[in-house]
Amino acid sequence: MRFVHSYQKLVAAAIVAMCPLAYAQTPSTKLKGAYVLTEEGFTASGQLINSIASLNFSEAGTVTGTEVIQATGGVKFVDVVGTYTIDADSTGTLILTATFTDSDGVVQTAPQSLKVIVPSSGDIMAVRTDAGYYTTAKLAAAAAAASLKGVHLFTERASGRPLTRLVLLNFDGAGTVDGFALIDALGVVSRANIKGSYVSQSNGFATMTLDVQVPVESGDPEITRETYLVLADKNAARMIRSDSGSAGILTLSR
């Protein structure tokens, strides 16, 4: 019996010892600093939604930043302000208001409401709760554009064409990038060399320009210029094309 009681005491002591650790891992109810928000999905009418945003959170519960929304033939920049709350159960809300000027020169505002889950570590996940929107989103701590250094990879599937690419880019950390793409068009694979540049912007984004040198059967390579907007987070970089190329958010992985 003494052995049983001693064992029970040891188990109870172990549970008590573990409790502070469990509470220590409870997520904070405050966010602070720069984050990258990516949102993907569609509307009730079938319109695709692809956007990335550079957001700054204060411990007072306010949010400011810049969002880039991919649209037909290019992108649209919008200013964003908002508020957030995080409850003790690790869920919360993020309410944003985007301000932009429409094609008629009229200033418009658009609300964006998200329900978030904040883990003790890792990215914050979210789902949009506005009626008529079916999107998911992710928030990750931002990194400086200067973190774009060394070899990175991304894959891309062309919109409306049977073409996929695996792209390797080597960033020198000072604004120059080179590499190559393996292009698969209906099972025929070719290689295209790439040269380009990237520049950090005050709004947290980096602009990247790539000259893709597509080989042709005769003569010099055909050069196609591509432009991207890039936001680096702690794990990777998120990109969106700012030209008329393929739609969607691209992940630039180390």
Residue type, position 4, single letter: V
The whole-number pLDDT of residue 157 equals: 86
Are 199 and 164 part of one and the same domain?
yes
pLDDT at 73: 59
| Distance separating alpha carbons of residues 147 and 121, to the nearest angstrom | 21
Tell whether the model's pLDDT for residue 198 goes beyond 90.
yes
% of the chain surpassing 70 pLDDT: 85
Say yes or no: 173 and 80 in one domain.
Answer: no
Give mean pLDDT, residues 190-203: 93
Predicted pLDDT of residue 127: 97
The string of pLDDT tens digits covering residues 165-196 is: 999 999 998 999 999 999 998 888 999 999 99
Q: Residue 1 falls within a domain, yes or no?
A: no
Of 25-39, 52-66, 90-104, 156-170, which one has max mean pLDDT?
A: 52-66
**Lowest-pLDDT range, 131-135, 143-147, 164-168, 205-209?**
143-147
Q: How many angstroms separate the CA atoms of 13 and 3, rounded? A: 15
Extract the tokens encoding 185.
């068009």
Q: What is the mean pLDDT of residues 32-49?
A: 92
Q: How many domains does the chain fold into?
A: 2
CB atoms within 10 A of CB 189: 10
For all residues of the chain together, what is the average pLDDT? 85
Domain boundary among 141, 164, 189: 141
CB atoms within 10 A of CB 242: 20
**What's the one-letter identity of residue 81?**
V
Residue 72: predicted pLDDT:
62
Confidence tier at 135 by pLDDT (50, 70, 90): very high
Residues 119 and 151 in one domain: no
Residue 94 sits in a domain whose CATH number is 2.40.128
Mean pLDDT of the 85-114 span: 92
**Would residue 239 count as lying in a domain?**
yes
Residues 151 and 80 in one domain: no
What pLDDT does 28 receive? Answer: 59
User: Is the predicted pLDDT of residue 17 greater than 70, yes or no?
Assistant: no
Q: What is the C-alpha to C-alpha distance for residues 52 and 42, in angstroms, rounded to an integer? A: 15
Q: What is the pLDDT of residues 68-77, one digit of tens each?
A: 998 765 788 9
Nearest to 229 by CA among 208, 203, 200, 204: 208
* Within-domain flag for 10: no
**pLDDT-based confidence at 155, cuts 50/70/90?**
very high
Domain boundary among 103, 125, 141: 141
Q: Encode burial over 111-120: b for 16+ CB neighbours within 10 A, e otherwise.
A: ebbbebebee
Residues 107 and 173 occupy one common structural domain: no
Residue that terminates a domain, selected from 141, 160, 191: 141
Looking at the domain assignment, is residue 169 inside a domain? yes
Task: Look at residue 14 and tell me if it is in a domain.
Answer: no
Residues 62 and 152 in one domain: no
Give, as one character, the DSSP assignment of residue 247: -
Same domain, yes or no: 109 and 186: no
Residues 137 and 160 in one domain: no
Give yes or no: residues 151 and 241 share one domain: yes
Q: What distance in Å separates the CA atoms of residue 215 and residue 224, rounded to the nearest whole number?
A: 11
> Domain range spanning residue 200?
145-252
Is the residue at 168 inside a domain?
A: yes
Q: Residue 13: is its pLDDT beyond 50?
A: no
Kindly state whether residue 20 falls inside one of the protein's structural domains.
Answer: no
CA distances from 78 to 29, 81, 97, 193, 206 (A): 27, 10, 9, 34, 16
Residue 132: pLDDT above 80? yes
Q: Is the pLDDT score of 98 beyond 90?
A: yes
